[in-house]
Amino acid sequence: MAASNERIREVVESYVALVASGTAAEIVDLFAPGATVEDPVGSAVRTTREEIAAFYGTLEGLQQETRLVECRIAGGEAAFHFEVRTTTDGATFTLAPFDVMTFDDEGRITSMRAFWSDADMTVS
Amino acid sequence: MAASNERIREVVESYVALVASGTAAEIVDLFAPGATVEDPVGSAVRTTREEIAAFYGTLEGLQQETRLVECRIAGGEAAFHFEVRTTTDGATFTLAPFDVMTFDDEGRITSMRAFWSDADMTVS
């Protein structure tokens, strides 16, 4: 049986929180074996646990805040808008991607695709 | 060559405007031959021009307003958040789906998937 909407929402909220303050290992634990990550859409798809861990490892140690703006769940998939604010060298970089995720029956992420481009980044 | 981000944005804006006030034929003209529509995600995929026209035909004659809230374009695809307000019998029903679209090289829509559920509908 597909994961419930409530379970999917919990995983999305955990993901957004962990992007701000989690370790790469904690984020990767949300993913199912064989999961894929395409971030941004159009870039090379990461297909192994090692590649996905390396990708999220680049976020470790950054001073980041995140918030979930809006989330829609349908057919066992989620599309959500979230905001990542990264503060470094006195400047704050804000990026607000739209992510699309699929899930297995246990609510583990089986794929993540992130829609954003450099043009969407703002600096304050 | 893939459609430019500017072209994709124009098509998304046209789509959102036509959902409010266009005919089914005008909306279908934004789609490429062989395009598919899955609305909402998880429902049966519409695969023919006739099925897609019939789907949008249900919107004709409704008193609707739409607006594009946010749009992200990456890798020749778009994810966007838009709002549809339908007024009928003195009540206003608001639904704000997240749509994901792919495009051909001319910027015609090759697939549309809409993320929303009844739980996202508000009435005022």
Summarised one tens digit per residue, pLDDT across range A1-47 is 789 999 999 999 999 999 999 999 999 999 999 999 999 999 999 99
In whole angstroms, what is the distance from residue B63 CA to residue B112 CA?
23
Amino acid at B74: A
Per-position pLDDT tens, chain B of length 124: 789 999 999 999 999 999 999 999 999 999 999 999 999 999 999 999 999 999 999 988 899 999 999 999 999 999 999 999 999 988 999 999 999 999 999 999 999 999 999 888 999 9
Residues 6+ apart with CB under 8 A from B109: B11, B15, B30, B31, B32, B35, B101, B102, B103
Mapping DSSP to helix (H, G, I), strand (E, B) and coil, where does residue A96 land? coil
In whole angstroms, what is the distance from residue B6 CA to residue B80 CA?
14
Q: Which residues of A are identified as catalytic?
A: 15, 39
In whole angstroms, what is the distance from residue B42 CA to residue B20 CA?
24
How long is chain B?
124
Cβ count near A107 (within 10 Å): 20
Q: Do A79 and B96 touch (CB under 8 A)?
A: no
Q: Which residues on chain A place their C-beta less than 8 Å from a C-beta of chain B?
A: 5, 40-43, 70, 72-81, 96-98, 100, 114-117, 119-120
Does residue B29 have an active-site annotation? no
Mapping DSSP to helix (H, G, I), strand (E, B) and coil, where does residue B92 land? strand
ipTM of the complex: 0.93
Q: Choose the closest CB to A72 out of B77, B78, B98.
A: B98
Q: Is the Cβ–Cβ distance between A80 and A66 less than 8 Å?
A: no
Q: Choose the closest CB to B79 out of A42, A75, A79.
A: A79
- How many Cβ contacts (< 8 angstroms) between chains A and B? 74
Of B15, B29, B104, B105, catalytic: B15
Place of tokens 């993913």: A31
Q: Is the Cβ–Cβ distance between B87 and B124 less than 8 Å?
A: no
Cα Rg of chain A (Å, integer): 14
Cα Rg of chain B (Å, integer): 14
Mapping DSSP to helix (H, G, I), strand (E, B) and coil, where does residue B63 land? strand
Judged against a pLDDT cut of 80, whether residue A112 lies above it is answered with: yes
Q: How do residues A18-27 score in pLDDT, each as one tens digit? A: 999 999 999 9
Top-tier CATH class for A5-123: alpha beta
Q: How do residues A59-74 score in pLDDT, each as one tens digit? A: 888 999 999 999 999 9
Q: Do A117 and B78 touch (CB under 8 A)?
A: no
Q: Do B74 and A5 touch (CB under 8 A)?
A: no
Residues of B in contact with A40 (CB under 8 A): 74-75
Domain boundaries defined on chain A: 5-123
